[in-house]
Amino acid sequence: MASAMRSGLWSIRSYRSMFSAYALASFGDWFDALAIQVLVVYRWGIDPFMIALIPVCMALPSVLFSSFAGTLADRVQQAKLMMFCDLLTVLLTVGVLFAPNFAWLLPLLALRAMAGVFHVPAQQALTRRVVPADLLLQATSYNGLVGQGSKVAGPLLGAVTLAVLSPQACILINMGARLLSALLLLGLWRLPHSTAGQDRNPDKERIRKPSFWSEWKEGWTFLWHRKVVLNTIIFGFIGLAAILMVDYQFPTLFKSISPRNEALTGQVVAAIGAGAVGALIILNRLGKINYGWGLGGGCGLIGLGVALLGLCPPGTHLATMLGFGLLLGVGNGAYILTQNYILQKETSPDVVGRVFGIQNTMNSLVMLTAPLAGGLLIRAVSVGAAFLSIGVVMVGLGLLGVLFRRQLWPQMEVVATGTSGTEAGTLTQN
């Protein structure tokens, strides 16, 4: 049964092209992100508080434009929008490549982040349109696998590239990956603007299309009345507020543990990605997700991994840190898959782009303050103590999510997929 579902998903040509494009973009981004972090921490020696300005600058475009980007993604041909974003990213990455200092780097990263603001809801909306409902869990898990798998291959190969060449070489690889991604999306330009598995109604086609502002307000109205989706976004917002306080400070932590090992960041991030891939593979084979345990349990494991890394003294053995990274990654994989599946499955196909746009807006709002607060926290105490504190907070949040799962996600929470367009499987409460 599982084999039939997987073969059915890969028989969808448009999904194969979209998946390949997404894989290339994700892989390149991890080369790029690792190179930039190593550049500013190890090569330029930037202060932790100044490093916190990177996610702040990258979040500002999302705060300003995410909900509008989601509305646009529901109105236009998503493949064209994604391709345009890829090409714009390539152009702005040229600027990043030749940035002479930190002052030049920040605005270039902000402009490049603006392209990503429009790319994410377009990719999510396109997934919902080309994949039938009974294959949606497989598609979501495979998208998660490639995203987390990029955390394994990207940092590992990026660390080798950094050792042999330079951060600029990693940035060039990202440019090449984005160009290939754009080429793959060319084949999706003629894809009908309709939902997979649904017929278009000719009578509805003749009805005047609602205005942009009407559709924007419709997305917020849907979210307000769909509590399971709203609670998921709010829970994620709180967890993100905690983790973003230290998310961009991992190189700072690893530098305090091993000052001369520039590759350490890539190695631990790769371990995090490997843990996430393992969790995604297991959940994909099970074919079901429990909303409460996936979100609450995943958040708790992320916090535990962060806290344990914060406890590592200088000279800690590499294997120990890799083990803590694997634990963090397992929680990350479970959390990401559960969250994205809820937002896909519990959202009407016509508003998927808007819901993901709203989520990006809310998440980006916290990015304007949390990284700066984390930088100040590290200045006030120490990087290890900051990681330990944030980890404990996330463990507590995860426990609350598990304990109050029936109140936060009250409906049938364990979802098993069916085959051949049917809803076969078992639905049971937690």
Q: How far apart are CA 417 and CA 288, in angstroms?
A: 7
Which helix or strand (DSSP H or E) is residue 237 part of? helix 227-243
Q: Of 119-133, 146-160, 263-277, give the lowest mean pLDDT range.
A: 146-160
User: For 156-171, what is the mean pLDDT?
Assistant: 69
Burial letters 238-250, b for 16+ CB under 10 A, else e:
ebbbbbbbbbbbb
Q: Is the pLDDT of residue 205 over 70?
A: no
Q: How far apart are CA 382 and CA 4, in angstroms?
A: 52
Q: In the CATH hierarchy, which top-level class contains the domain 2-187+218-416?
A: mainly alpha
Strand partners, 290: 414
The predicted structure's pLDDT at residue 151: 59
- CB 287 within 8 Å of CB 425: yes
The predicted structure's pLDDT at residue 328: 93
User: For 272-279, what is the mean pLDDT?
Assistant: 84
pLDDT confidence tier of residue 417, bands split at 50, 70 and 90:
very low
The predicted structure's pLDDT at residue 249: 85
> Is the model more confident about 305 or about 27?
305
DSSP character string of 6-29:
HHHHHT-HHHHHHHHHHHHHHHHH
Residue 11 burial by Cβ neighbours in a 10 Å radius (0-12, 13-18, 19+)? exposed
DSSP character string of 73-98:
HHHS-HHHHHHHHHHHHHHHHHHHHT
Residue 81 burial by Cβ neighbours in a 10 Å radius (0-12, 13-18, 19+)? buried
pLDDT digits (tens, 9 = 90+) for 69-115: 777 877 778 888 889 989 999 999 888 888 888 888 888 988 888 88
- In the DSSP assignment, the letter for residue 382 is -
The predicted structure's pLDDT at residue 147: 65
Q: Is the pLDDT of residue 210 over 90?
A: no
User: For 192-197, what is the mean pLDDT?
Assistant: 46
The predicted structure's pLDDT at residue 207: 46
Q: How far apart are CA 426 and CA 63, in angstroms?
A: 39
Q: Is the pLDDT of residue 339 over 50?
A: yes
Residues 6+ apart with CB under 8 A from 211: none
Task: Provide, rounded to the nearest whole percent, the portion of the chain with pLDDT above 90.
Answer: 14
The predicted structure's pLDDT at residue 371: 83
Q: How far apart are CA 142 and CA 7, in angstroms?
A: 13
Helix (H/G/I), strand (E/B), else coil: 56: helix
Looking at residue 428, its amino acid is T
The predicted structure's pLDDT at residue 195: 43
What is the number of other CB atoms lying within 10 angstroms of the CB of residue 190?
9
Q: What is the largest CA-CA distance in the chain?
A: 69
Q: Is the pLDDT of residue 418 over 60?
A: no
DSSP character string of 299-359:
HHHHHHHHHHHHTPPTT--HHHHHHHHHHHHHHHHHHHHHHHHHHHHTS-GGGHHHHHHHH
The predicted structure's pLDDT at residue 353: 66
Looking at residue 244, its amino acid is L
The C-alpha angle 224, 193, 136, rounded to 5 degrees, equals 60
Residue 45 burial by Cβ neighbours in a 10 Å radius (0-12, 13-18, 19+)? exposed
Domain ranges of the chain: 2-187+218-416
pLDDT digits (tens, 9 = 90+) for 23-61: 888 888 777 777 787 778 777 777 777 877 887 888 788
The predicted structure's pLDDT at residue 274: 84
Helix (H/G/I), strand (E/B), else coil: 289: strand
Q: Of 100-104, 142-146, 161-165, 393-397, give the lowest mean pLDDT range.
A: 161-165
Find where tokens 């330009």 sit: 189
Average pLDDT of the residues of the chain: 78
- CB 128 within 8 Å of CB 407: no
What pTM does this model have?
0.64
Task: Provide, rounded to the nearest whole percent, the portion of the chain with pLDDT above 70.
Answer: 81
Q: Tell whether the torsion through CA atoms of 231, 430, 275 and 298 is positive or negative.
A: positive
Q: Of 124-138, 302-316, 346-360, give the lowest mean pLDDT range.
A: 346-360
- CB 409 within 8 Å of CB 339: no
Nearest partner of 413 among 231, 211, 185, judged by Cα: 231
Strand partners, 416: 288
